[in-house]
Structure 1
């Protein structure tokens, strides 16, 4: 007598890259049809989370539109190895885009606001070198020819000397980022402590002024750069674990930046192509033990039709922010009957661990206001980082509900015009973490998001969700495993599996790579293992 194939029902909460990756893996064929996964993907917005903030701009005279990804989804070779492998497997087209950068100081006075470029970096993984900012390249017309030539020679000489200093700082930074060279105790050291520890103290450094140059380099260049990468304010960059910054520097050395050719919408379409049960515009209010079977879970949510309940889930995958998962876990723990005390305690442990992850607000504004760029057009680059000096007073004219505190670094991306975009139309810019509001009437869209920011506490908490043996920070495999809190005891008994994935659930700066790897581990080392599934092929 032939038995009916067993079906395992899985709810995935969140449709960012982590949720989409998990859904994609679970709907791929396995060696046999027992069990099959009945995957339900829940998203509170009307579109998939990975693409929910993106906007479409009409192209006059064309049938297609200009899709602008929000936030910018660039990625870099070396740091995003599994993301790149996944994209290749899916057939997603991506191309190198080695961004150039400007670093500019925002200041205010009675005469108004000024954005003055201090550093120009021409990209190409360092091969483009640096350029002289316009403030050093201004010839004074009231001077005679001889004085102008002397002034030009003087400023050029200063710039060359400064460039040599920066080059030596960069080479020293690369040396200090090599894993075998790093200081003892680097795993628990903050960036601020590392800067202090690595401050040059030798006689030669003091005599040449290199000690002061290193201090300037680590604060005026590195802090704004990582403030933009992490979308976090200055103080949180100073308190950030430095090991992850050094990993980022080491792993991206000599690699290209990439962007997806057809945008995030193409990635989303490929990942959900095999997912049958998609529930958009479903705001989940609680998850609870199934009243008919406490070994299963029910998902309670609201949509345009009112309250809805989806029952019978064997597994729940939280592919959402840590702080959003906590109240849902709380509702689940509260719903468990008294005799399920061990499961309740497991869920409560997950909650306490998730509460240790920190999130900060971030804003992404698409607009056509060129005043959020350096004042001199000669200083404009692909990515324009704008910051204030510590303690600088920014007048109230620059403060609005659509701005963040001046301790953030504002990053304005000059979006490349698509083919066919009329020349008479203004350029479009994307500003992340604005500390100055675009002018009224120039704003195209405003997206308010939250971003995980790594701390020493959350770095320690991560070990409960992810662990690795013999981790190597150069290309090569390492033995990865789920932490003891993953599954909420599912690997030890037959209860529902509660799994956690997302950018924060993987070592390093919380970025797209963490979404992909954590989702893969949850599926392969969690659901597959607990259900006895043998994958037909490697994931990608």
Structure 2
């Protein structure tokens, strides 16, 4: 045989999960090895749903020009924190646009306990704004509101599902770089001079408290980031939760619990308790890297990203749920069996699922191997034990995302509407659990209800302004604590989101992607990555807040430094 003719090396890889992490890994395996003449990379992407996971819950809304694709959940990103994601989008030629978000904080209150069918509750609440912010991410304008009249809750509805109104007087005061702050009175306002003076004094007090607290927080954060302490495993802050950090550095409780925690509970779609137990370093690094940065969204929706990432993939299995893993008796390592008893052989398995889903499959595989190796454990069992132990360190919160047109969920005063509206719900509001409560998160509502006014981000939905009718106002509410009118609901989807804890942070830093000593943030592959041909990618397993950045970064690291090096294949990152 001619020595110049060499047999192609065949490597078969199964990617389980078609979110951004799975798509990025599969795309990179195909695109990054296309110049390798002596290697045949066979990639199979498995998705249990009938659509690719990253876009499975998104919806299309008809507009005058064309359908507008609405991402579910909302996927925005900012320069500074999303370096890997931005490089990927540039490579794919994905058009993006500034989101120009404005923010509003408000409380949903009732003077009398409300216990009625969930869909009616929103008509009897008083949604009181206490803080609004407009401007850039760092320097903008905060407004303080004083109530000049009181409203009385009764058995008559205060609001309809298509409009809302109240009387509010707004006082704005400028701080440095045109920044100010706000608070609304928590008790009914009497038409008296003493009350007005008291409220004015309190609003100024809160403005100064918020302004000082934010400035103090950023000074400490930037100093810790500059000194490298946020990535130093030996520094005391490495073992602090966010709640402990607030106390240690004397962050004012009002700012911490009324402003900061609700905001980040919305970003992370976690409960307030989960946010207080978040590793402080992960949140502070997000703050440091996001300073003076702009937020962006994909112009044509995430479907365009899905289409371009899936274009080179020839073996996408939709509606296929992998049920079990078995050792292969052939030259391949594994046999995957789906819910139709169909089998697939592979050399590597990339889990691009949530940790708890990977855990279930690996536990079943471990039990199968354990029965075969009753007397002595081999290295495959030892590796599996370490991976199972690692996956157990991750916990999750569930979240509900509803697209709808019910403006009753927004602040009662339309002048306080912002692109992103963060609500806290008073404990007196308890929808009757015996009635239809499919469209609210379970009580107690220990989370932020976030309502995004889609028209203000997607201009093609209509040039809706505060003075125009809200008939065509499209909203996306995450973790609704009061229900939209079911007649106004366009879609409803449940999700799981990883909750970062000190335990899961340690698992990432020791088992998945440990930091390289003597480097500034560079990571290597941990002992739970690929020693048995099983790999883990996704937002949950990358350092920081579980966001799109971790999906791309973890996929790149596993494919290039993991599978590429194990198989002696040079994988070229095209972005």
1:173 is matched with: 217
Question: Secondary structure of 2:400's match?
Answer: strand
1:354, distance to aligned residue in structure 2 (A): 0.3
Q: Contact (CA 8 Å) 1:46, 1:281: kept in 2 or not? A: yes
1:215 is matched with: 253
* Residue 355 of structure 2 corresponds to residue 319 of structure 1: no
Q: Contact (CA 8 Å) 1:471, 1:478: kept in 2 or not? A: no
Q: How does 1:140-219 map to 2 (within 5 A)?
A: 159-178=203-222, 179=224, 180=226, 184-199=235-250, 214-219=252-257
1:387, distance to aligned residue in structure 2 (A): 0.9
1:340, distance to aligned residue in structure 2 (A): 7.3
1:469 is matched with: 516
Question: Secondary structure of 2:86's match?
Answer: helix
* Residue 483 of structure 2 corresponds to residue 437 of structure 1: yes
1:422, distance to aligned residue in structure 2 (A): 9.2
Q: For 2:327, which of 289, 294, 298 is the aligned residue?
A: 289
1:185, distance to aligned residue in structure 2 (A): 0.7
* Residue 250 of structure 2 corresponds to residue 246 of structure 1: no
Q: For 2:92, which of 87, 90, 102 is the aligned residue?
A: 90
Q: For 1:79, which of 81, 85, 88 is the aligned residue?
A: 81
Root mean square deviation of aligned Cα: 2.6
Under a length normalisation based on structure 1, what TM-score does the superposition of the two structures give? Answer: 0.87
Q: For 1:533, which of 569, 572, 575 is the aligned residue?
A: 569
Structure 1, residues 109-161: CA drift from partner, whole Å, max 9, x if none? 33831211010011311332212336378359xxxxxx999988886665445
Unaligned runs of 5+ in 2: 115-123, 149-166, 171-190
* Residue 45 of structure 2 corresponds to residue 41 of structure 1: yes
Under a length normalisation based on structure 2, what TM-score does the superposition of the two structures give? Answer: 0.82
Question: Secondary structure of 2:125's match?
Answer: strand
Q: For this pair of structures, how many residues does the alignment match?
A: 500
Range 399-408 or range 458-467, more displaced: 399-408
CA distance in 1, matches of 2:410, 2:518: 41
Q: For 1:453, which of 492, 499, 507 is the aligned residue?
A: 499
Structure 1, residues 433-457: CA drift from partner, whole Å, max 9, x if none? 1111111211110100100010111
1:349, distance to aligned residue in structure 2 (A): 1.6
Q: Contact (CA 8 Å) 1:26, 1:523: kept in 2 or not? A: yes
CA distance in 2, matches of 1:266, 1:481: 31
1:59 is matched with: 63
2:429 is matched with: 394
2:27 is matched with: 24
Q: For 1:513, which of 530, 549, 558 is the aligned residue?
A: 549
CA distance in 2, matches of 1:331, 1:527: 24
Q: Contact (CA 8 Å) 1:133, 1:379: kept in 2 or not? A: no
* Residue 17 of structure 2 corresponds to residue 7 of structure 1: no
1:369 is matched with: 406
CA distance in 1, matches of 2:461, 2:78: 28
CA distance in 1, matches of 2:512, 2:347: 20
2:181 is matched with: none
CA distance in 2, matches of 1:115, 1:429: 16
Question: Secondary structure of 1:47's match?
Answer: coil
CA distance in 2, matches of 1:452, 1:35: 36
Unaligned runs of 5+ in 1: 141-146, 201-213, 491-496
CA distance in 2, matches of 1:158, 1:238: 27
Which ranges of 4 or more aligned residues in structure 1 deviate by more than 4 Å? 147-158, 180-184, 420-425
For residues 249 and 135 of structure 1, do their structure 2 counterparts lie closer, same or farther at Cα, with a shift above 3 Å needed? farther
Question: Secondary structure of 2:51's match?
Answer: coil
For residues 377 and 397 of structure 1, do their structure 2 counterparts lie closer, same or farther at Cα, with a shift above 3 Å needed? farther
CA distance in 2, matches of 1:167, 1:41: 49
2:142 is matched with: 130
* Residue 338 of structure 2 corresponds to residue 301 of structure 1: yes
Q: How does 1:332-351 map to 2 (within 5 A)?
A: 332-336=365-369, 337-338=372-373, 341-351=378-388
1:14, distance to aligned residue in structure 2 (A): 0.1
Q: Contact (CA 8 Å) 2:423, 2:448: kept in 1 or not? A: yes
